[in-house]
Amino acid sequence: MGFLAKNIGHRRILMPLHIAHSRRESLMDLLTYANNNVPYYEGRYDRFLSDAPALSNEDFYKAFAQTPVTTKQDLSDYNDRFQTRSLSGKIDLINDGAPPNALQALWSLFIRKNFKISISTGGTSGTPTYRWLDHHDANVMAQSFLESFHMNGWRRGESFVVYYPLQSYFTDTYATFNNWLHHLFGFCVVPFETVDRESVLRLLQTLQDRKTTLLVIFPCVLQRVAEIMKAENMPPYEELKYINVSGEFFFDCSKAFIQEMFPNARIEITYGAVELGELAHQHGDSSFDYKVFNTYAYVEDGDHDAMIITSLQQQAFPMIRYQMEDKAHIVNDPDGTQYLMNLEGKNTDFLYGADGGKYYASFFNTMVNDLNAECTGNIIHFMMRHEGVRADLNFVLKEQNEAHQTYIIHESRKIIAETFPQFSDISVNFPDHFNHDYTRKFKIIGEGDGLSEVVGGYYKRKAS
């Protein structure tokens, strides 16, 4: 399998990108193409492209920062206009919302290559929009995932397993063709409808049978896998080398607990989006700090705590100065390397404190860490739901301990009352786990049930 995956699959079918251009040259190529071939951007960069050759690097990026921003509403309202004209002659791989069977998909993807395919973005409102891929852009997106795996420690030719909900990202279609996928590309899919004892056992058996080095999984799903392993007295799985998570918050307490169940795995988090592919990978020990993939993306600070990101390699459906709904502090090294520091996730997922400041997930991560310092690491998961004057703090403990519970109740209520005086009714609960709809993002803090945001890739409908 390793020979085929490394020398045929990963090396021949999923061709690594060979990018000789500088970021500035990549931007110029992208803007020139979009300006001439993509209806939404057509003519938008005439002035910039005319002035750019004479500009210094500093002035070049200042001028680029004055070009229009693209929003998710634009993506929804003008979806067809984001497609390059060359897509009009390609076969829609999803016919009337129904994905092809595995053989048809592989034939269209890797042999004919004359296709376009839509994938859904996430949706805070519950209704996602879409982006389109052709063979080139699909390869760019696939390579961005492989780049994140590589930074996690994985190497081409090694086996990896994807553990995803059955109804997302065509998981069911891929799973029916797992043996071919394993031999050609070195990966297979383990789908689940619910994370329970049976599906966890199936996952662990697949990891063992496929001699897997890397597991790709959502953070909240990985948390539940580890909880079930602990509750069912399953032994820690020691053979796994790497775990790559993405898409949600990943608290220190969760990672520490999961590490006990996968003691030899290097667990790291990647940041990305359906619109853009994977963009950055964990930098250092914190799951809130990331190093940007400079050959794939250029990141800018935007207004209202919203990052602005340009995908440098995608041309069939360009995303240029796309305003994300995420908050981070962008750091630029002199050599051009970019970092996302203190990435908090959605810029709307915060609470106002007594000092008028905005408090995001990292505040609660620190709070749990401080509590855990006095509770021998007994807290393994946390979630807060609020509504009106009521705040419900929910702590999952590794072991029931009355002294720890008493301490957590007293200290957490004190911290919340002092920091957020708008909450006069504060309850502290100790569930054994959190039930969760895995087609929606798990949020650490949220109003009401906090489950309004649909995970990207869930809705498999054709874009209208």
- Summarize the confidence of residues 163-188 as an average pLDDT: 67
* Whole-Å CA distances, 105 to 99, 114, 173, 344: 8, 12, 9, 37
- Summarize the confidence of residues 169-185 as an average pLDDT: 62
> Quick one: pLDDT at residue 123?
61
How many other CB atoms sit within 10 Å of the CB of residue 230? Answer: 16
User: Assign residue 186 a region: left if phi > 0, alpha if psi is -120 to 50, beta otherwise?
Assistant: left
* pLDDT per residue as tens digits for the range 65-76: 999 999 999 999
pLDDT at 410 over 90: yes
- Summarize the confidence of residues 258-264 as an average pLDDT: 98
pLDDT at 262 over 70: yes
pLDDT at 460 over 60: no
Measured between alpha carbons, how far is 356 from 43 in angstroms, rounded to an integer?
43
Better-scored residue on pLDDT, 113 or 279: 279
Measured between alpha carbons, how far is 53 from 51 in angstroms, rounded to an integer?
6
Residue with tokens 């948390």: 223
CA 141 to chain centre: 12
Q: Are strands 290-292 and 338-346 parallel, antiparallel or unpaired?
A: antiparallel
Per DSSP (E only), the strands in 158-198 are 160-165, 187-192
Better-scored residue on pLDDT, 33 or 131: 33
pLDDT at 156 over 90: no
pTM of the model: 0.89
Q: Could you tell me the domains of the chain? A: 2-346 (3.40.50.12780), 351-446 (3.30.70)
Share above pLDDT 90 across residues of the chain, in percent, rounded to a whole number: 61
- Summarize the confidence of residues 445-463 as an average pLDDT: 60
CA 457-461-463 angle, to 5 degrees, is 100
